[in-house]
Structure 1
Amino acid sequence: MKEKSIQDWIYVILQFIFFLLYLQDFTILSWEISKDAKILFQLIAGMGLLFSILAVLSINTLVSPFPSPKKEMQLQTKGVFAFARHPIYTGILILFYAWGIAQASTYKISIALFFNLFIYCKARYEEQLLREKFPDYKEYALKTGMFFPKLFK
């Protein structure tokens, strides 16, 4: 097995830190959300979690927190990968934002915003590695959105 780069480890450690920070809760700005809106955003958060789980199940044992693709990995373009190049990240982003809104937590929404910036950088790095490994990746990227489906192709 190929050794992971320092950059791979940095991305994984930072992602773990973001998850730990998200689990905390601090009141930055107090606001309220209606019971109906709270339920709606909890459902949306659940859908985000489900989307990530479907993506993980579709790549099964090849899932890894590291951006470098595994040696035995094949280019995934079917299922949830037909809609987004990084559906696991998409689901996590939806979960983070929606749960933060459902909890009326400015702190969680702030963490989600910073995580969004971080995950974009990680995805860009990952895509650079995927383009090197898979010649068809460039064409796939032109047709498929990074985190959400492309509306215009």
Structure 2
Amino acid sequence: MRNRSERLLGYAFVAAQSALFVVIFAPRRRRPGVQPPARRSVALRATAGLAIGTGAVVAVAGARELGADLTPMPLPREGSRLRTGGAYAVVRHPVYTGAMAASAVRGLTAGGRVRPAAAAALCALLVVKAGWEERQLRARFPDYPAYARRTPRFVPRLRAR
């Protein structure tokens, strides 16, 4: 059984990231009498859409590999196993990597000041959450330190052929 402070911190991470996702991805509200921002070029919108979609695919791939062990809480489930294959062979946190990529692109291309700030805050939060989660994984799985040494946290290594 996890102690109360671990669970509360886990819930705080989840609540904060959920609120930031809403700010970043919620449709823009049009206020009466306010001129809408200039439309971005088709090329920029298409590139941003492709980048956001790619981030979503990476996050979904990581989530699918976790299967029933998927949880927004940064605490490993009882009876779960360490995943080191598939997307987890490329980066240790593919769900966070995809979420950060999609959020950063959305924040930078949506215009205004709030969404870019929320995207930066979400990325910072996920970095902190991943570090805290990794301490939990190290305590739970004896093989985690070796896995962490050979696998980057968020950004895949480029390998020469």
TM-score (norm 1): 0.86
Partners in 2 of 1:44 and 1:60 — Cα distance? 25
Are 1:8 and 1:67, in contact at CA under 8 Å, matched by a contact in 2?
Answer: yes
User: Structure 1 residue 74: deviation in Å?
Assistant: 0.7
Partners in 2 of 1:6 and 1:101 — Cα distance? 32
Q: How many residue pairs get matched?
A: 150
Counterpart for residue 19 of structure 1: 21
Counterpart for residue 121 of structure 1: 128
When structure 1 is superposed on structure 2, of 56-65 and 103-112 the one drifting more is 103-112
User: Structure 1 residue 2: deviation in Å?
Assistant: 5.3
Of the three residues 5, 8, 22, the one matched with 2:7 is 5
Are 1:41 and 1:101, in contact at CA under 8 Å, matched by a contact in 2?
Answer: no
1:29-66: per-residue Cα shift (whole Å, max 9, x none)?
Answer: x6764221220111010011011111111111110000
Where does structure 2 lack aligned partners over 5 or more consecutive residues? Answer: 30-36
Where does structure 1 lack aligned partners over 5 or more consecutive residues? Answer: none
- Which structure has the greater CA radius of gyration? 2
Of the three residues 98, 120, 132, the one matched with 2:105 is 98
1:71 aligned onto 2:73: no
Tell me which amino acid in the other structure corresponds to 1:20: V
Are 1:39 and 1:102, in contact at CA under 8 Å, matched by a contact in 2?
Answer: no
TM-score (norm 2): 0.82
Counterpart for residue 88 of structure 1: 95
Q: CA-atom RMSD, angstroms?
A: 2.3
Are 2:25 and 2:106, in contact at CA under 8 Å, matched by a contact in 1?
Answer: no
